[in-house]
Amino acid sequence: MPVALLLLVGGCAPSSGPEAASQSKPARITMHRLNRVEYNNTVHDLLGTSLAPADLFPSDDMSHGFDNIGDVLSTSPVQVEMYHHAAEALINDAMSADRGATRRIEAEDLDSTVGTATGDAWKLVTNGELATTLDSVAGTYRVEVVAWGERIGPVPIRMAIRVAGADVALFDVLADATKPGAYEATIKLHNAPLKLEVAYLNDRDTNSKYRNLLIDSITLEGPIGIAASNPMRERIMICDPAIDGDKACAGQIIGAFGQRAWRRPLTQPEIAELVELALPDDPAEFESGIALALRAILASPSFVFRIEADPISDASTSLDGYALASRLSYFLWSSMPDDELFAAAAAGSLAAQDTLQEQIERMLNSSKAAALVDNFVGQWLSLRGLDAHEPDSEVFPSYDLALKNDMVVETKTLFRSLLADNRPVHELLTANFTFANSRLAAHYNLAADLPRGDRPDSFTRVPLSAERAGLLGQASILTVTSQPTRTSPVKRGKWVLEQLLCTTPPPPPPGVAGLTREKTPSASLRERMEVHRSEPMCSACHNIMDPIGFGLENFDGTGKFRTLEGDFAIDASGTLPGGEAFQGSVELSALLAKDPRFPRCVVTQMYTYALGRAPVWDVGPFTSDWVGRGAGLSDLVTAIAASQPFRQHRAMKREAR
């Protein structure tokens, strides 16, 4: 089997021995496997495919709070097999010549028929249909509906695809707002204007106002089997073997595709090996041979791993242009470099400070920079933890999947806004505004006439009421740090310490029981916690966590403001271990924003995400310089990308043999 088809099995072992504690020796080289998000984004940008094969890969291990840490991104035999299957599916899709034309209909362009729709016409709230009229050519078509549901209880939402009034496909919609599902069917259409409908069948199974079917888009592809333009194939087949010759054309195709897939130019021996694999004895099989070589490229370690050339010595060495381009693109975009970044790498200009600055600004202004917010913020602030958190519906009846999605969008939009405007980092904690739609505004009891849509562009900047400020006033943070039936001052205090101050409290002593659920407690939660932490073995941990958590007690387990906990008045005052007193979350947030650990922690968290490993040097001087220049969030991204640890690397030490 050619070398290009062999994939390494097993993780990349970290080097032994102490790390250098200064920026004079940046991070050692680690074979950094693409995680699932990076893999899907990369094949999308490489091929233009709509497939997402990494959704089926095993979950990525996490370290330091992130799933892009090179030392724990191991590779199992199962993954090796799945990489080969994914490569075959991707290349078959890209090389297909019978895809037919593709038409995508956004939900807001659909007609609402029997039922009613709200917002931007993509949320069905009663039994009904969304429809479009097709002027079709007779043939077989693929139809894909991107949809998700809001449901309470075990009964799935039933959805039908209808053609000319007849159901041609039925689905149980189990996907939710955090990860919409793609529901596909193969249908036959005739030569006539036909009505294509998506119908919501079982809304009457429940009287819950939160049971809804949501449609994002409908994609129709066909007629299948009739030759049509395939942009993916056209991008790959850049020459004609009948004109250029089989060997020369195969070399051009493989060299161009391989350079983008492996994120560096291929060597002549690598191209020759792949051309030998591709060229068949029968010239009529040229394209199938090319497809085999392209599958080998996608199954290679050079695609699955981000491999950086090994420095000759242990001295710090500047990354070459292609490796720097990859570090930059996977930091900001969670994907491969684009053509402009590749061109800068090829020209050798990416090492120049002004060119690097221009590229960073361009990349941050790209829509692909949403990946930085989704993946960095989503993990740093524990937003992904909301997927596994389910507040008790009896205690919090207004909480549903749509509200959860609103919470996540709010937090990401705030960060995105502060990043775009290069606002100081302390505004993450002290901002007196947020971004909300009508549902979230109602949850916060804000008097604002806002759009009812669920999409990020439906969220509008609004001033906050006096009791909220920044992240610690946002429902996403307050919900994910609560118990299903009540708030948790311990979880909230621990989250602030670990995520915002990078301070890990000591672990609880073995055998210590937590608070039990009481339907009719005889004392407030704070009073019960005070008794709990009066125990000598408990006080060391709780004295540093509980005061922070008590400052957030005016917010219930889903972030709603309250002044009473049942029949008990809430006391949200506290004193931090350093002696600073506060009253409520806004004063607490102001104190935390002034804590020197906060900007240092933000630097540490972003460096960890950017490099795929925790910094092993003192980030204090870097932080002081950044804070002295205004502590702008965009400045932080630029400073990290321009720093020595990001732009250089060093060799792993070899064991003596």
* Category of 649 on φ-ψ map: left (φ > 0), alpha (ψ -120 to 50) or beta: beta
**Which of 178-182, 376-380, 620-624 has the least mean pLDDT?**
178-182
Scan for tokens 């996907």, then name that residue: 175
Number of domains the chain contains? 3
Would you state the structure tokens that stand for residue 194, as one six-digit string?
């036909």
Would you state the structure tokens that stand for residue 154, as one six-digit string?
């075990």
DSSP 15-47: PPSPPPSSTTS-PBP--EE--HHHHHHHHHHHH
3-state secondary structure 593-615: HHCCHHHHHHHHHHHHHHHCCCC
Render pLDDT for 35-54 as a digit per residue (tens, 0 to 9): 999 999 999 999 998 888 99
* 3-state secondary structure at position 4: helix
Amino acid at 573: S
**Separation between Cα atoms, residue 319 and residue 350, nearest integer Å:** 10
Amino acid at 220: L
Same structural domain, 495 and 620: no
Task: For residue 184, count other CB atoms closer than 10 A to its CB.
Answer: 14
Residue 470 lies in a domain: yes
Same structural domain, 581 and 601: no
Do residues 277 and 289 lie in contact, with contact meaning Cβ atoms separated by under 8 Å? yes
Of the three residues 578, 594, 610, the one that is the final residue of a domain is 594
Residue 354 lies in a domain: no
Would you state the structure tokens that stand for residue 530, as one six-digit string?
């005070």
Task: For residue 173, count other CB atoms closer than 10 A to its CB.
Answer: 21
Same structural domain, 488 and 581: yes
Q: How far is CA 161 from CA 145, 185, 204, 220, 469, in A?
A: 9, 8, 19, 12, 45
Same structural domain, 556 and 409: yes
Residue 642 lies in a domain: yes
Amino acid at 649: H
Of the three residues 174, 193, 222, the one that is the final residue of a domain is 222
Closest C-alpha among 179, 148, 618, 561 to residue 378 = 179
* Category of 572 on φ-ψ map: left (φ > 0), alpha (ψ -120 to 50) or beta: alpha
Exposed / middle / buried, residue 234 (Cβ in 10 Å: 0-12, 13-18, 19+): exposed
**pLDDT for 213:** 82
**Which of 159-163, 486-490, 513-517, 531-535 has the least mean pLDDT?**
513-517
Would you state the structure tokens that stand for residue 471, as one six-digit string?
């992240």
Report phi then psi at 441, rounded to 5. -60, -40
Scan for tokens 């960890």, then name that residue: 608
* Category of 27 on φ-ψ map: left (φ > 0), alpha (ψ -120 to 50) or beta: beta
**pLDDT for 231:** 85
CATH code where residue 117 lies:
2.60.120.260
Question: Mean pLDDT across the stretch 520-547?
Answer: 70
Same structural domain, 612 and 487: no
Do residues 304 and 642 lie in contact, with contact meaning Cβ atoms separated by under 8 Å? no
Residue 59 lies in a domain: no
Same structural domain, 455 and 567: yes
pLDDT of residue 492 exceeding 80: yes
Residue 216 lies in a domain: yes
Q: Which residues pair with 433 in a beta bridge?
A: 463
Same structural domain, 453 and 557: yes
> In sequence order, what are the residues at sequence separation of 6 or more whose Cβ sits closer than 8 angstroms to the Cβ of residue 252?
238, 239, 244
Amino acid at 505: P
Render pLDDT for 186-209 as a digit per residue (tens, 0 to 9): 888 776 666 778 888 877 655 555
**Separation between Cα atoms, residue 583 and residue 574, nearest integer Å:** 7
* Between residues 544 and 558, the one the model is more confident about: 558
Rounded (5°) CA angle 618-624-627? 135
Same structural domain, 405 and 416: yes
Same structural domain, 633 and 505: no
Report phi then psi at 148, rounded to 5. -155, 170
**pLDDT for 282:** 66
DSSP label at residue 311: P
**Structural domain that includes position 154:** 101-222
Residue 488 lies in a domain: yes
pLDDT of residue 484 exceeding 90: yes
Q: Whole-prediction pTM value?
A: 0.80
**pLDDT for 14:** 33
Closest C-alpha among 383, 294, 366, 381 to residue 328 = 366
**pLDDT for 112:** 47
How many Cα atoms within 13 Å fall on the side-chain side of residue 482? Answer: 27
**pLDDT for 556:** 95
Render pLDDT for 605-618 as a digit per residue (tens, 0 to 9): 999 999 999 998 89
Same structural domain, 582 and 602: no
Question: Mean pLDDT across the stretch 244-259?
Answer: 95
Dihedral (CA of 463, 465, 468, 469) sign: positive
Residue 505 lies in a domain: yes
> In sequence order, what are the residues at sequence separation of 6 or more whose Cβ sits closer than 8 angstroms to the Cβ of residue 377?
383, 411, 412, 415
**Separation between Cα atoms, residue 297 and residue 111, nearest integer Å:** 45
Residue 212 lies in a domain: yes
Confidence of residue 527 (pLDDT cuts 50, 70, 90): confident
Confidence of residue 80 (pLDDT cuts 50, 70, 90): very high
* Category of 123 on φ-ψ map: left (φ > 0), alpha (ψ -120 to 50) or beta: beta
Report phi then psi at 105, rounded to 5. -115, 115
Confidence of residue 136 (pLDDT cuts 50, 70, 90): low
Of the three residues 222, 237, 272, the one that is the final residue of a domain is 222
Closest C-alpha among 522, 506, 514, 449 to residue 488 = 514
Alpha helices in 551-657 (DSSP H): 584-594, 597-611, 620-628, 633-642, 644-647
Which H or E run contains 80? helix 77-95
* Category of 511 on φ-ψ map: left (φ > 0), alpha (ψ -120 to 50) or beta: left
**pLDDT for 517:** 56
Same structural domain, 535 and 638: no
Alpha helices in 483-524 (DSSP H): 489-495
Report phi then psi at 178, rounded to 5. -75, -25
DSSP label at residue 237: -
**pLDDT for 654:** 47
Do residues 443 and 475 lie in contact, with contact meaning Cβ atoms separated by under 8 Å? yes
Same structural domain, 443 and 570: yes
Rounded (5°) CA angle 636-637-641? 115
Across the chain, which distance is largest between two alpha carbons, in Å?
Answer: 88
Q: N- to C-terminal Cα distance for the chain?
A: 30
